């Protein structure tokens, strides 16, 4: 017999079905709860709420497991290219070589952005944060491609929007950086792979030749894969909820970029490096910083996770990669030692142990980005570049499943004054 959950309210019993996922995750289906009982659930921060069924990413926070479409993240990060992983997330299977070739050609063909985008970029002050610039540029694609506003696109049109966004995102990211530096824009080079092309658009100098360092492009490839999807996190939920109103792909992803920007989400990678730099320059000891965290004066950025309560598998891979990449590049960043000392001190301290706080993906990623030459205010933009295929896949799945518009309820706790005449008489 199928399992069910019994809820007794106002002396009456109600039964709700239990649904089970392919990895044996269980949920009580309360979609009829209000209709049958008049009650809603209260779950701030959606800590216990399954907002959707999804076939894209599986995450087991207790055991530190992360799979994209059934493949362990460890395997993908060590053997795949970012575009292969993007294909996997978006279309559901790893591409064979013909599929990958045609995907790559389609992306390459659309990597140029409209020249008028430069006018939009020119309107920003050079000190604008690149996350704000990026979300604006992505949203501006609705203007360059107004057909993307069709709320009922054919599969073909939807696919074209997807390819366009994947193709133009590296160009938009690199140009946001070049604008902030007052440097001329570099155009995409289709002879290069996705990561190398991005690096040349970021760093090639007009008066000098630029060869992409394979150590740098391999490191970037790994980082992008590790960030590519993470089921229903804050920015992905934002993309899904915006998409559920049948908003365009570009509008939905632009909203996701803004959600990612916050320091508790993707913005943490910038905050981590600023925290480490501050510890270094102030001369504060690791022990005294940990004491400040325990007194709740500051948070240990890059630590803790809503879902991982044992370890973050992405952080494990990144920590090893961090040592290897800095070694290969001959970079000696003193904040790496501070980060390791902080991790060691925290993992022994009951404050962190009791609360199950471990390093997350952002703890070491910034140190690698800095070694690759990426400026600190671009770290979260790099996260967005990596997360793009996940956002796209989740948006596509939501549309394919014709999910209803996202619209949570609330418990009203405001005033109950009803007598308007009291004010009127004054
Ligand atoms: N430093 C110090 N204390 C912490 C931290 C931290 N980084 N994270 C959580 N806590 C404490 C928190 O104060 C609370 O303590 P108490 O029970 O005494 O009130 C307890 O741990 C539970 O914290 P919470 O805020 O209720 O947990 P949450 O699941 O709502 O928040 C989090 C998760 C990631 C927002 C939080 O751990 C945090 O703020 N971490 C620092 C920011 C960060 O690194 N964010 C990146 C997350 S990974 C990238 C991504 O996918 O977004």
Sorted by where each begins, the domain ranges of the chain are 4-50, 72-212+248-262+394-399
Indicate the pLDDT class of residue 423, thresholds 50, 70 and 90.
low
Active site residue 101: no
Using CB distances shorter than 6 Å, the residues near ligand 1 are 45, 230, 233, 264-266, 268, 293, 299-306, 355, 357, 360-362
On the 0-12 / 13-18 / 19+ scale of CB atoms within 10 A, 77 is buried
Please say if the pLDDT value at position 144 is more than 90.
yes
| pLDDT tens digits for range 162-206 | 999 999 999 999 999 999 899 999 999 999 999 999 999 999 998
pLDDT given for residue 106 in this prediction: 97
| Closest C-alpha to 137, from 122, 127, 147 | 122
Of 48, 62, 234, 304, the one to substitute when testing ligand 1's pocket (max ligand atoms within 8 A of C-beta) is 304
Q: Contact, 198 vs 220, CB < 8 A? A: yes
> Would you place residue 422 in the very low, low, confident or very high pLDDT band (cuts 50, 70, 90)?
low
Its CATH architecture, for the domain 4-50, is Single Sheet (2.20)
Q: Where are the beta strands (DSSP E) in 70-161?
A: 71-72
User: Could you give the count of Cα atoms lying within 13 Å of 132 in the half-sphere of its Cβ?
Assistant: 8
pLDDT tens-place string over residues 61-74: 999 999 999 999 99
The secondary structure element, H or E, covering residue 108 is helix 97-109
Instruction: Name the range with the highest mean pLDDT among 154-168, 314-328, 409-423.
Output: 154-168
Q: Does residue 14 surpass a pLDDT of 80?
A: yes
362 catalytic? Reply is yes
CATH topology of domain 72-212+248-262+394-399: Citrate Synthase; domain 1 (1.10.580)
pLDDT of residue 235: 98
**Token pair belonging to 360:** 């997350």
pLDDT, one tens digit per residue, over 236-246 is 999 999 999 99
Largest CA distance in the chain: 80
Measure 305 CA to ligand 1 centroid, in angstroms: 6
Task: Taking residues 97-118, report their average pLDDT.
Answer: 97
- In the set 229, 312, 333, 362, the catalytic residue is 362
Banded pLDDT at 1 (limits 50, 70, 90): low
How confident is residue 158, by pLDDT bands cut at 50, 70 and 90?
A: very high
CA of 203 to the centre of ligand 1 (A): 35
pLDDT at site 419: 75
Residues 6+ apart with CB under 8 A from 29: 16, 17, 18, 19
- The DSSP bridge pattern shows strands 57-60 and 26-28 to be unpaired
For residue 306, which atom of ligand 1 is closest to its CA? Answer: 29
Give the chain's mean pLDDT: 95
Question: 42-55 pLDDT, tens per residue?
Answer: 999 999 999 999 99
């Amino acid at each position: 017999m199928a399992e069910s959950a019994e809820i007794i309210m106002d002396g009456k019993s109600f039964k709700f079905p239990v649904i089970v996922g392919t990895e044996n995750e269980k949920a009580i289906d309360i979609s009829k709860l209000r209709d049958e009982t008049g009650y809603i659930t209260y779950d701030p921060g959606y800590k216990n709420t399954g907002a959707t069924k999804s076939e894209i990413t599986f995450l087991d926070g207790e055991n530190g497991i992360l799979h994209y479409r059934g493949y362990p993240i460890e395997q993908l990060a060590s053997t795949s290219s970012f575009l292969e992983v993007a294909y996997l997330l978006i279309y559901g299977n790893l591409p064979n070589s013909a599929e990958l070739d045609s995907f790559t050609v389609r992306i390459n063909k659309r990597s140029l952005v409209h020249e008028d985008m430069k006018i939009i970029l020119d309107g920003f002050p050079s000190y604008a944060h690149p996350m704000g610039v990026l979300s604006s540029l992505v949203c501006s694609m609705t203007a360059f491609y107004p057909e993307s506003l069709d709320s009922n696109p054919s599969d073909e049109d939807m696919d074209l929007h997807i390819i366009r966004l994947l193709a133009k995102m590296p160009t938009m990211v690199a140009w946001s950086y070049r604008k902030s530096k007052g440097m001329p824009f570099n155009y995409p080079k289709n002879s290069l792979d996705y990561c190398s092309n991005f690096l040349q658009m970021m760093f090639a100098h007009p008066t000098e030749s630029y060869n992409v360092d394979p150590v740098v492009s391999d490191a970037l490839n790994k980082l992008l894969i590790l960030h590519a999807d993470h089921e229903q996190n804050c920015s992905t939920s934002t993309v899904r909820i915006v998409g559920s109103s049948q908003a365009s792909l570009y509008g939905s992803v632009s909203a996701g970029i803004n959600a990612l920007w916050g320091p508790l989400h993707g913005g943490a990678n910038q905050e981590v490096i600023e925290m480490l730099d501050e510890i270094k320059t102030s001369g504060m000891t690791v022990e005294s910083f940990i004491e400040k965290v325990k007194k709740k004066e500051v948070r240990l950025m890059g630590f803790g996770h809503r879902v991982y309560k044992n370890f973050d598998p992405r952080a494990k891979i990144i920590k090893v990669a961090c040592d290897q990449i800095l070694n290969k590049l001959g970079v000696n960043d003193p904040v790496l030692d501070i980060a390791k000392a902080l991790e060691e001190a925290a993992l022994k301290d009951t404050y962190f142990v009791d609360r199950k706080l471990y390093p997350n993906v952002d703890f070491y990623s910034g140190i690698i980005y800095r070694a690759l030459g990426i400026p600190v205010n671009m770290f979260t933009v790099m996260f967005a570049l990596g997360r793009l295929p996940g956002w796209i896949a989740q948006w596509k799945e939501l549309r394919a499943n014709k999910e209803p518009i996202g619209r949570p309820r609330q418990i009203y706790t405001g005033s109950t004054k009803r007598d308007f005449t009291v004010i009127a008489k004054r």
